[in-house]
Amino acid sequence: MYEFRFDVVWQYLPYLARGVWITIWVTLASTGIGLVLGIVIAVLRLSSNPILSMPMRAYIEFFRNTPTLVKLVWVFYLIPILFGLKTEALTSCIIAMAVSAAAYIAEVVRAGIQDVPRGDIEAAEAVGMTPMTVLRRIVLPQALRKVLPPLANTFIVFLKYSSLVSVVGVNDLMYRANVISTTTFRPIETYTVLAFFYFVLCYGLSKAFSRFEARMAVDV
Amino acid sequence: MLAMTATTAASSAAHEQGVERAAARDADRAMLVVRDLHKYFGHVYALRGVDLSVRKGEVVCVLGPSGSGKSTLLRCINFIETPTSGQIFIDGRPIVGDSDDHAGKDRKRKSICAIRSEIGMVFQHFNLWSHMSVLGNVIEGPIQVRKLPREQAVEIGTRLLAKVGLSDKVNERPTRLSGGQKQRVAIARALAMQPKLILFDEPTSALDPELIGEVLDVMNDLAHEGMTMVIVTHEIGFARAAGTRVVFMDQGVVVEEGTPREVFDEPKQERTQRFLRSMLRYAP
């Protein structure tokens, strides 16, 4: 019978906990950039001009259909070669995750934009708003409110994806757990504690989104 | 004058020039002139050469069976639909297709935005912006398009909402209002832009019968204040009471027009008679 020894892992807890900030930072930075990029991509994707929409389709398909881990490693090794820049592992991870997140978020936002009632747009045009104003004041505020639930989902998925950054040596939660596990030879205990950490983070994020959604719902 | 010097021109050409000049004069006097408007939706020929002239302060009610092109006409006037051909003058100024190069298209887009800001539009399904408050809906146009300072827009919006009897709903969400209230907000939203002309596209067709009156009251007040209005409607009673002119359309053309009395009491065209008979079959 296996004897669980959580006390061995316990002494490494402060070390593990410091990884929380790295994990949060990677997630927030990449989904934040991904959100902005994703909105731009979604808008261009819906353009009637194929010169604008076709590259966005290609972008979405390419980044949606390649593994995030592959992109991480790819960006990590490719940026120094392409641009001669020596990027920090953390930076290249954020870039790789942001471009992936943008592809998913673009599709979510596109669905939201297409769901905005045609009549709302006509009413905005009828008062003389320019297309840019219609987008900024009428279309996007409604679209983003509507897609908050799937957007929350994407954010949570990317919080979990952030564990991949350990592969290129960013000392996030996952990386630290690996270190603890190989130091203590207690993988089961270590990863159980790790899972608990991720659960608390993800659950907190989803709760935060629910509250935000509820506040926005008053508006709808 | 040019026509005079061209003495060799055929008399028909001279006559055409005369018609052109008369039309131009007409455009001077009129708030809205629609000339030979055609609209295709793919293969569907929705407007087949519509001419309409609306003077300042007139209340023109457009009637006709569904599919007759009434709504399309209204939507073409402020370019929510792009007309296939024809001309539209608002307050003497033409809205026309400029040259097709990039700069020309840009000029056209800007002129369309400018024209739209002078034409109010009220829709059958209200089309209020659900993410904004009632007041937000009314002040959005003045702030975003007219670039009014917020306080001034709020002042105008509050006054207009009082005018349509909704002072107590200023901070309410549109979704919490009845249909009649929504439509009155939509009218206030159109008025906030201080339009020269308001287009109403079946403003009461989506309302419970009981709520129609409150909207027609507001429209009637506007008519008496001298607002120029073009109203697509099935409310014959309203057209008779508030309309200065009635236009009957069928199959993309104007079949008959005249004062409410002329069109309703002594319709000349067989098609108009048939339409009115079917409309009034169960009238009280």
Express each pLDDT in A36-61 by its tens digit: 999 999 999 999 999 999 999 999 99
State how far the alpha carbon of B101 is from the alpha carbons of A47, A96, B97, B105, B253, in Å: 19, 41, 11, 6, 32
Is A37 part of any domain?
Answer: yes
Instruction: Give the CATH number, domain containing residue A154.
Output: 1.10.3720.10
Segment A102-147, tens digit of pLDDT: 999 999 999 999 999 999 999 999 999 999 999 999 999 999 999 9
**DSSP type of residue B207:** S
Is A13 part of any domain?
Answer: yes
Among A56-60, A81-85, B129-133, the range scoring the smallest mean pLDDT is: A81-85
Is A199 part of any domain?
Answer: yes
Q: Classify the complex by whether its ipTM is higher than 0.90, answering yes or no.
A: no
- Nearest-Cα residue of chain A relative to residue B106: A130
Q: What is the pLDDT of residue B214?
A: 94
Q: Whole-angstrom Cα distance, residue A30 to residue B72?
A: 47
Q: Which amino acid is at B111?
A: S
| Domain span at A215 | 6-219
Looking at the DSSP bridge assignments, the partners of residue B197 are B119
Q: Whole-angstrom Cα distance, residue A181 to residue B257?
A: 88
Is A189 part of any domain?
Answer: yes
Residue A141: which of B120, B125, B131 has the nearest Cβ? Answer: B131
Q: Which of residues 111-140 of A touch B (CB under 8 A)?
A: 117, 119-120, 122-130, 133, 137-138
Is A132 part of any domain?
Answer: yes
Residues of A in contact with B125 (CB under 8 A): 119
Show the CA angle centred on residue A130, arms to residues A128 and A135, nearest 5°.
Answer: 120
Residues of B in contact with A127 (CB under 8 A): 116-117, 121, 140-141, 144-145, 189-190, 193
Is A1 part of any domain?
Answer: no
Mean pLDDT, chain A, rounded, equals 93
Q: Whole-angstrom Cα distance, residue A102 to residue A150?
A: 14
Q: Which helix (H) or strand (E) holds B155?
A: helix B150-163
Helices (runs of H) and strands (runs of E) counted in chain A: 11, 0
Predicted model pTM: 0.85
Q: What is the pLDDT of residue B5?
A: 41
A123·B129 Cβ contact <8 A: yes
pLDDT band at B23 (very low <50, low <70, confident <90, very high): low
Closest chain B C-alpha to A100 CA, distance in angstroms: 30
Is A99 part of any domain?
Answer: yes
Tokens coding B58: 């007139």
pLDDT band at A216 (very low <50, low <70, confident <90, very high): confident
> How many folded domains does chain A comprise?
1
| Mean pLDDT to the nearest integer, B99-109 | 72
Segment B190-213, tens digit of pLDDT: 999 999 999 999 999 999 999 999
